[in-house]
Amino acid sequence: MAIDQLDGRILVLLAREPRIGVLEMSRRLGVARGTVQARLDRLQSSGVIQGFGPQVDPAALGYPVTAFATLQIRQGQGPDVRAHLASVPEVLELHTTTGTGDMRCRLVARSNADLQRVIDRVVGFDGIVRASTAIVMENPVPLRIIPLVEQAAADSEGH
């Protein structure tokens, strides 16, 4: 479950050069190919690596506006609201958080004007009591995992 230094180096290498092959990886890391193969299999089957899906930029797809919405849900309407939000393509992510019936979702839109349409569609659903939205201006730290991987690998040093 915990990862060691070699696992960490594999993950970092993979994050930096994702299209790299197993053979090339083994050369860079100075270990046998079978070892990298086995580590990768283990990382995937243990769930540390969930996949290698392409990271698609919504902006390049024509959706340059990102926003976060905080929703308050009427008691008992949770499942319905989830299904509703899941059916909206512009909802990229949804979490339920502490707080009475609170959800937060990440939205994208084609423009600020289009965001209004998206929000209307999102909150125009019975069961959503209240909604507040914050538009993203900058993204100083894009979603990342490498620093955490390095810390986790370092933590496992002193076994």
The answer to whether 38 contacts its own copies (rule: CB under 8 A) is no
In the list its own copies, DNA, none, the entry touching 66 (Cβ below 5 to 8 angstroms by class) is its own copies
What Cα–Cα distance (Å) separates residue 41 from each residue in 10, 47, 157, 159?
12, 10, 22, 22
In the list its own copies, DNA, none, the entry touching 37 (Cβ below 5 to 8 angstroms by class) is DNA
The answer to whether 15 contacts its own copies (rule: CB under 8 A) is yes
Distance CA 18, CA 36 (A): 14
For residue 60, the minimal CB distance to DNA (Å) is 17
- Letters for 93-132 (x = contact with its own copies by CB under 8 A, - = none) are xxxxxxx--x-xxx-x------------------------
Q: Which helix (H) or strand (E) holds 71?
A: strand 65-73
The token pair at 79 is 């499942």
